[in-house]
Structure 1
């Protein structure tokens, strides 16, 4: 069976759930820790929920004599299918934002240790690791980073792997590449100053992103409230119009 690779997950062209998935769905779910089996299971639940909502719309239309619900029954599953996809995208955006925040915390913790103690990167990260709580999300990626620094001191692979396991943003890649240069250049203070500037820029960008997302939610609230009010009103208005249409036919 021929299969294609997409963003680290093996997707089969002959699998229905893989074929129905949007181009970036599996990639987002994988970044959030899901396996291929989890992705396909989610697709099955997604289809089931969509069909149930469509059947519920038709049943309510028949039970309450609301033809608009009956006519909407074939469309409702498509809408629910897209809504669930949008929800996954929203979850991924917030997951990515959270990981960027955690990576920013890593930068804020490791830079002062390098500046004040003039210690090596390995020693600074080890001190940071030992001070972390057992359930800290960054603890396992940082442990793998420490192992890479010890086993491959001349390689950039531990730095790129740490970014992939945490933030995976362009800014994070730039920061870790500069941190690699700092390690290889015998702790050059000029590179350390550059790292501090990158850290400040990422913090500022994070604050702007928080403000932008809060503003977007406030702007969407009146629109969502209006739609929720209009939907039952439209359903109520549809009933007398349908009855009038039947009378005119008679």
Structure 2
């Protein structure tokens, strides 16, 4: 039993060592456990190995130079899986920031109501937020507020997890100050200003995101036509080679 556990730990350590330095951090932040990440690493390695097989066969039966092509393709498949995760992570951060901006904009009108308390406001916003990471963070914040009523740490933790920006941390610490000084309406005005700044930053991110997608469109068209050209050229070369051989 101990030998099996030790063997499993050695395998887990191996897949952690061959991972990029930020891979586990990104996937953990997106909600994946270490066990799921290890499974992803195993699948990733298997895909890379399978990709090398055709060129290894060419190297065995035709030309040993295909070994280099085999290695190159394996490295390409391995790195491409990492790039795919990076793309997902950037989209995750983008969506997370949008939802946090929505949270800050909804918060101000609720706080201006005469009978509003922080718990009631958070619970009302909770019903309006879409299911996802930020909503889960808000649920955890409500629980931790009960456990640590006189600490601003739950507010800071929510800001780090739900957004991660300095402006989000400033917003939530200001919100904590408002909770401690309920009748200070100047704090609500400050919160409104911070929420507006968050909204403008989110709008700029949306604009940049869409511009980047549009900028890549001509490149994708060019690459698609290039693939067709390469395929046609390969077919012509193969036909010429067969004719010369016979």
Alignment TM-score, normalising by the size of structure 1: 0.79
- 3-state SS of the aligned residue for 1:15? helix
The aligned residue for residue 84 of structure 1 is: 81
Asked if the contact 1:178–1:195 (Cα under 8 Å) also holds between the matched residues in 2, the reply is yes
Distance 1:241 1:143, change over 3 A: closer
- Secondary structure at the counterpart of residue 110 of structure 2: helix
Deviations 1:170-225 (A, max 9, x none): 22212111111222233421121111111111111111111111111111111122
Q: Which residue of 2 aligns with 1:99?
A: 96
Matches for 1:1-250 after TM superposition, within 5 Å: 15-56=13-54, 72-117=69-114, 119-129=116-126, 131-132=127-128, 135=131, 138-238=134-234
TM-score (norm. length: structure 2): 0.80
C-alpha change, 1:135 and 1:57, in structure 2 (3 Å) is same
**How many corresponding residue pairs?**
234
Q: Give 3-state SS (helix, strand or coil) of 1:158's partner.
A: helix
Distance in 2, matches of 1:221 and 1:69, equals: 33
Is the contact between residue 104 and residue 195 of structure 2 (CA under 8 Å) also seen in structure 1? yes
CA deviations over 1:140-190 (Å, ceiling 9, x no partner): 432322222233221012112322442222222121111112222334211
For residue 132 of structure 1, report the CA deviation from its aligned partner: 3.9
Q: How many Å apart are 1:117 and its aligned residue? A: 3.0
- Distance (whole Å) between structure 2 residues aligned to residue 133 and residue 245 of structure 1: 63
Task: Tell whether the 8 Å contact from 1:29 to 1:39 is kept in structure 2 after alignment.
Answer: yes
- For the structure 1 residues 152 and 124, does the alpha-carbon distance in structure 2 shift closer, same or farther, using more than 3 Å as the test? same
Q: Which has the higher helix share?
A: 2
Runs of 5+ in structure 1 lacking a partner?
1-10
Decide whether the 8 Å contact of 2:52 with 2:71 is kept in 1: yes
